[in-house]
Amino acid sequence: MFHLVHPNARSDSEMHGRLSWYERVSNDLRPAKYRIARRIPCHINLDEASDETLWKEHTRLSELARALLTELDVKERDITTLPTAPVSFLDVKAKLLSRMIRRCTFCEWKCKVDRVSAVRKGACRLDSASRVSTWFAHFGEEPPLVGRGGSGTIFFSSCTFRCAFCQNWDISQDPLSGAPVDSRQLALIMKSLRADGVLNINFVGGEPTPNLHTIVEAMNQLDLNVPMLWNSNMYCSEEAMRILADLIDIWLPDFKYGNDKCAIRLSKAPRYFEVVTRNHEFAQLSGDMIIRHLVMPNHIECCTKPVLHWISEHCPQAVVNIMGQYHPDYQVSAGHSAYSDIARRPIAEEMRAAYDYADALGLVYSPVS
């Protein structure tokens, strides 16, 4: 969601130029990446292959996917001339995830619990079932993601963080909120959203990462040309990022904190800066990206400026949404003394400082339409 915008925010044309792949897919000029993955054949027996063999095959097929993506983009080749493979690159990803979830390493907590047997729960507090709180055409996202039909937003329950100020705490902190969905049901949700005219499929929450197995299996039951959007806290593991890289057409990551101290205190997220910067760099290499930074009161020097500076040096082609919508919620709104520094909205001077710093760094941040 957008808020106050600085008068020096960059033009629409400059912003759209950095989202060219996503916009071509959303306008049916290019195939969504997951459709490419479904057409790359795999010739090994997935059930008999070891994990090491599966990852080696994944690496090989990922190289083929990148080459085919370039060919389809440059030569404008029609994806429908390529048949869906009987056993595909997408099947390899699904098989890897079906094994990973039995010793779960989807996110950087790497709890290694067996979510299928669900004898004990990990950081996400989920078993193998995905739960969806709601889905709808969302018109409050960034303008390039909305268009006339909205963003096809799917809100998953639970989260890998414990943000004291979470504005979606009712679904992010309750793993039993929402209704359980399997891959077939999720595919039907995606189809219905696209039929209603949404511009993309927006996986969010809570946090979508613990549901990666269901999401990939659902993609394997689709052949719609719709961009896949990853709206995440970016605390994914390296393995999860490798799975996602060949499937996501546009990334919409959060980048909240400029240091680990604030991340641990406010979100209970260790090694935050290391993990999130690694994943932002990885995402930049594999697709278009709009980075969201939520400006929080009294956190300009410790968080906003370090985050924007890092983006300018490591993800200079990303569009940035400098968000002023923070308000005290959840534990903060309850008056907990540990969060007194963020117990108000950001003031105009703080937002102005954020925008001025972004201007000084030459960042492209998106204007309100």
Domains, in order of start, for the chain:
12-365 (3.20.20.70)
- Residue with the two structure tokens 């400098």: 322
Q: What is the pLDDT of residue 10?
A: 53
280 CA to centre of own chain: 10
CA distance 130 to 206: 12
Q: Look at residue 16 in the predicted model and tell me its pLDDT.
A: 66
- pLDDT exceeds cutoff 80 at 360: yes
Res. 6: pLDDT tops 70? no
Q: How far apart are CA 108 and CA 172, in angstroms?
A: 17
Taking the C-alpha atoms of residue 143 and residue 254, their distance in angstroms, rounded to an integer, is 17
- Percent of the chain residues topping a pLDDT of 90: 86
Q: Which of 87, 77, 215 is nearest to 232 (CA)?
A: 215
Q: What tokens does 368 get?
A: 């309100």
pTM: 0.94
For residue 27, is pLDDT > 80?
A: yes
Question: What local confidence, expressed as pLDDT, does residue 2 receive?
Answer: 36
SS3 of the chain: helix, strand, coil, percent, to 5: 45, 15, 45
- pLDDT score, position 127: 96
* C-alpha to C-alpha distances, 243 to 107, 212, 328, 369, nearest whole angstrom: 12, 9, 35, 34
292-344 pLDDT per residue, tens: 999 999 999 999 999 999 999 999 999 999 999 999 999 999 888 899 999 99
Q: What is the pLDDT of residues 254-274, one digit of tens each?
A: 999 999 999 999 999 999 999
Q: Contact at 8 Å (CB) between 313 and 361?
A: no
Maximum CA extent, the chain: 62
CA angle 37, 206, 5 (to 5 degrees): 90
pLDDT tens digits for range 166-193? 999 999 998 889 999 999 999 999 999 9
* Mean pLDDT within 28-54: 96
- Arithmetic mean of pLDDT, 341-369: 90
**For residue 6, what are the CA distances in angstroms to 121, 252, 351, 353, 369?**
44, 21, 8, 10, 13
pLDDT tens digits, 107-157: 999 999 999 998 889 999 999 999 999 999 999 999 999 999 999 999 999
Q: Tell me, what's the pLDDT at 81?
A: 80
- Strand, helix or coil for residue 88: strand
Whole-angstrom distance, CA of residue 306 vs CA of residue 218: 38
Q: Residue for token digits 């972004």?
A: 358
End-to-end, the C-alpha distance of the chain in Å comes to: 12
Q: Which helix (H) or strand (E) holds 291?
A: strand 288-294
- Is residue 76 very low, low, confident or very high in pLDDT (cuts 50, 70, 90)? low
pLDDT tens-digit profile of 205-256?
999 999 999 999 999 999 899 999 999 999 999 999 999 999 999 999 999 9
Cβ-proximal residues to 1 (8 Å cutoff; 6+ apart), any chain? 140, 141, 323, 325
pLDDT band at 7 (very low <50, low <70, confident <90, very high): very low
Residue whose entry in the numeric block shows the structure tokens 């990303």 = 318
Q: What is the pLDDT of residue 367?
A: 46
The phi and psi torsions of 64 (rounded to 5 degrees) equal -65, -40
Residue 239 to residues 17, 104, 114, 235, 282, Cα–Cα distance (Å): 30, 11, 17, 12, 11
Predicted confidence band at 14 (pLDDT cuts at 50, 70, 90)?
Answer: low
Average pLDDT of the residues in 359-369:
78
Of the pLDDT bands very low, low, confident and very high (cuts 50, 70, 90), residue 77 is: low
Residue 288: pLDDT band (50, 70, 90) is very high
